[in-house]
Amino acid sequence: MTPAQKSPKVAVLLSGCGHLDGAEVRESVLALLALDQHGATVQCIAPNAPQFHVVNHVTGEPVPGAARNILEESSRIARVGQCLDLAQARVADYDALVMPGGYGVAKNHCSFAFKGADAEVRPDVAAFVRGFFDAKKPVGAICIAPALVALALHQAHDSATLTLGNDAGCAAALSQLGQISQDTPNATHIVIDEAHKLVTTPAYMFDEARLSDVWTGIERCVAEVLRRVS
């Protein structure tokens, strides 16, 4: 980016902190790093609402009776005071949207983790995500986040090409939602839907992916999103 160019302002939608019940921390940090390296100005955003549940990341099991707030947990990644309540966020203030993955996307922002193609989406999240497509602003979706995109577009009777890696069950759910699922062989790959200015990458949809490969895919995704900022 030359000194004469304006720094693009990018909304990063988070879903908590921790891949089993919130945002995938590695994917979130790598996305923020890639955006920083490419000269973008970033605003982390999350709903001020309870998580679906809290998972012990040592055992992988839900903690009975535990409760955490999505905005408070997302602020662990964004740093204190640097995560905006989604209720205060306006699509018009941003040039692009990037969404890291983690089960929080599929549990807190929507119910894809439990209901697949029959999932519901939080109305505020759906409106925010669809707003970028309506405004023809680029969107980057990482790991399971393309499922949220698929649900939001399905509600708007729209269809896009995206990837959730090569999981057959996820691909079938995307097809049920009227989306075009494109398999990718590993975490380094991206899929671009030019008509929607949508860039997706599978990241930890491949559980055994190397961190360096996840970085490669996320950096490529972010670069292509920023390339499409008007």
Give catalytic residue positions. 143
Exposed, middle or buried by CB within 10 Å (0-12, 13-18, 19+), for 169?
exposed
| Residue 132, token pair as written in the block | 């970028």
Distance CA 176, CA 163 (A): 14
In which element (H, E) is residue 193 found?
A: strand 191-193
Return the half-sphere exposure (C-beta side, CA atoms, 13 A cut-off) of residue 91.
Answer: 17
Beta-strand runs (E) in 7-157: 9-13, 41-46, 83-85, 96-99, 139-142
Sign of CA dihedral 147, 31, 214, 204: negative
